[in-house]
Amino acid sequence: MGKVSTFTIDGVKCMAGEGSYIVDAARQNNIYIPTLCDVQGVPPKGACRTCTVRVNGKLMTSCTSRVHDGMEIENNVPELNDLRKSIIEMLFVEGNHLCPTCEKSGNCELQALAYRYAITVPRYPFLFPRRNIDFTHPRIIKDHNRCILCKRCIRVIKDKDGKNIFAFLNRGFKTRIYVDPDLAENLTEELAQKAVDICPVGAIIKRGQGFETPIGRRKYDKHPIGSELEE
């Protein structure tokens, strides 16, 4: 084992391996920092900014910043929580997130964060963009209405040669996830399921199945996201 760094999160003394990402270091000390685009064990992207913390007075994403000795990290404070809440609200108004119709409802991380922050209504006006649903792949359906562009599918799903099957198409407001047509066949049943599971929202769903888990037994029905760390 390498060196250990000591630092504080909201005044609580913590320890973690030198050079680990703040979000992982916090987890090791049973402190929850909310994340959306982050996947444990996969190189971070800092795409969603939900995990923003304040380190020595400066705002930074905790999934991409590493801990150092003597760091003073602010996490669960009203100002940062409101900032995170506003990011979640922005994601809700920027797409078409109709929870009552969504197969992922109850297992959705975006929704779970909204529950955690008890968002009743976004502070921003709804944009109601016109987005398509892509049924072209034999194993998955891509619902662009729900995509939050976290890049999880791009970063995690690789074929046996290590190539990315998913990619971004277009730029700015028109950006959407795209399955490389040359590699579409490499999205095996197993990889398709992995893509569905890794998607934090309901943007990638399995063909021919839906609403598998009854209401009341879904991941976030009874306990808020992050509560497993805080017990």
Partner 1 sequence: MQKPVIATTSLAGCFGCHMSLLDIDERILELAELVEFDKSPFNDIKNFTRQCDIGLIEGGCCLDENVHVLEAFRKNCRILVAVGECAIMGGLPAMRNGIPIKECLDEAYLNGPTVRNTNEMKIMPNDDELPILLDRVYPCHEVVKIDFFLPGCPPNAELIWNALNALINNSEMDLPYEVFKYD
* Binding region for partner 1 (CB under 8 A): 96, 98-102, 105-106, 111, 114-115, 118, 120-121, 125-126, 128-131, 215, 221-224
CB of 104 to partner 1, least distance (A): 10
CB of 215 to partner 1, least distance (A): 7
CB of 216 to partner 1, least distance (A): 9
Cα–Cα dist 20/65, whole Å = 8
Nearer to partner 1, 144 or 155 (CB): 144
Nearer to partner 1, 34 or 106 (CB): 106
Cα–Cα dist 27/169, whole Å = 34
CB of 130 to partner 1, least distance (A): 4
CB of 105 to partner 1, least distance (A): 4
CB of 226 to partner 1, least distance (A): 12
DSSP type of residue 37: S
The 3-state secondary structure of 63-106 reads CCCECCCCCEEECCCHHHHHHHHHHHHHHHHHCCCCHHHCCCCC
Nearer to partner 1, 207 or 223 (CB): 223
Nearer to partner 1, 1 or 215 (CB): 215
Strand partners, 17: 4
Nearer to partner 1, 158 or 218 (CB): 218
The H-assigned helical ranges of the chain are 22-28, 78-94, 109-116, 152-156, 189-198, 227-230
Contact predicate 167/176, CB 8 Å:
no
Both tokens of 11, joined, read 């005044």
Q: Is 164 helix (H, G, I), strand (E, B) or coil?
A: strand
